[in-house]
């Protein structure tokens, strides 16, 4: 079974030297303005796209988006803040910004439990990383060639990987 928490830590926390204690402090910042509930959302999204048109690779793109979202809830009010920076000061500012929706001060201690076991339903693999850029181009060219060879009436092939 894959240890999803370790995988998440290696992508989202370790590169920025963020540990459980730092997260506890961020939660304390979030709740220091009186929030009843709140959460922190870490994200890392990678997107890669390749397109072939008329036998040529005409487009390719890659994007990488990552950041941390904070939500504080007091009664029926929600405070949201987001930071694309993983610096501790930026994260503290975002936590405090989300937490300012509350009017009273409350103290909350929250322990993060790294012992949660989850089923390995979706292994943390990115299949697009398993082949080189040259192989991606060759695969798209093969799709183009096979489509054209299938029927002489095929005039245009557009494929995206």
Decide: residue 76, CB within 10 A, 0-12 exposed, 13-18 middle, 19+ buried. Answer: exposed
pLDDT number for residue 113: 41
pLDDT number for residue 74: 84
Q: 44: closest CA among 4, 81, 87, 11? A: 11
Q: pLDDT means per 10 residues in the chain (161 residues)?
A: 79 90 92 86 88 83 87 84 88 86 46 48 67 88 90 87 80
pLDDT number for residue 107: 42
pLDDT number for residue 60: 84
pLDDT number for residue 119: 55
Q: 134: closest CA among 20, 48, 23, 57? A: 57
Instruction: Quick: pLDDT tens for 45-73.
Output: 888 888 888 778 888 888 888 899 999 88
Query: What number does CATH give the domain 4-160?
Result: 3.30.2290.10
Q: 86: closest CA among 66, 60, 64, 105? A: 66
Neighbours of 123 (CB within 10 A): 9
pLDDT number for residue 80: 84
**What is the rounded CA–CA span in Å between residue 125 and residue 3?**
13
* Full 3-state SS string of the chain: CCCHHHHHHHHHHHHHCCCHHHHHHHHHHHHCCCCCEEEEEEEEEEEEEEEEECCEEEEEEEEEEEEEEEEEEECCEEEEEEECCCCHHHHHHHHHHHHCCCCCCCCCCCCCCCCCCCCCCCCCCCHHHHCCHHHHHHHHHHHHHHHHHHCCCCCCCEEEC
pLDDT number for residue 6: 86
Q: Which two tokens stand for residue 15?
A: 């590169």
pLDDT number for residue 110: 39
pLDDT number for residue 112: 39
Residue ranges covered by each domain of the chain: 4-160
pLDDT number for residue 23: 94
């Amino acid at each position: 079974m894959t240890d999803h928490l370790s995988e998440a830590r290696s992508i989202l926390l370790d590169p920025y030297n963020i540990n459980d204690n730092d997260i506890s402090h961020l939660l304390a910042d979030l709740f220091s303005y009186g929030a009843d509930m709140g959460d922190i959302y870490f994200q890392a999204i990678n997107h890669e796209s390749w397109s072939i048109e008329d036998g040529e690779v005409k487009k390719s793109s890659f994007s990488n988006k990552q950041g941390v979202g904070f939500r504080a809830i007091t009664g029926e009010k929600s405070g949201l803040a987001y930071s694309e920076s993983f610096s501790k000061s930026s994260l503290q500012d975002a936590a405090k910004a989300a937490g300012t929706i509350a009017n009273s001060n409350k103290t909350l201690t929250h322990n993060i439990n790294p012992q949660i076991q989850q089923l390995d339903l979706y292994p943390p693999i990115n299949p697009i990383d398993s082949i080189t850029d040259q192989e991606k181009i060759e695969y798209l060219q093969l799709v183009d060639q096979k489509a054209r060879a299938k029927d002489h009436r095929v005039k245009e092939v557009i494929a995206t990987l």
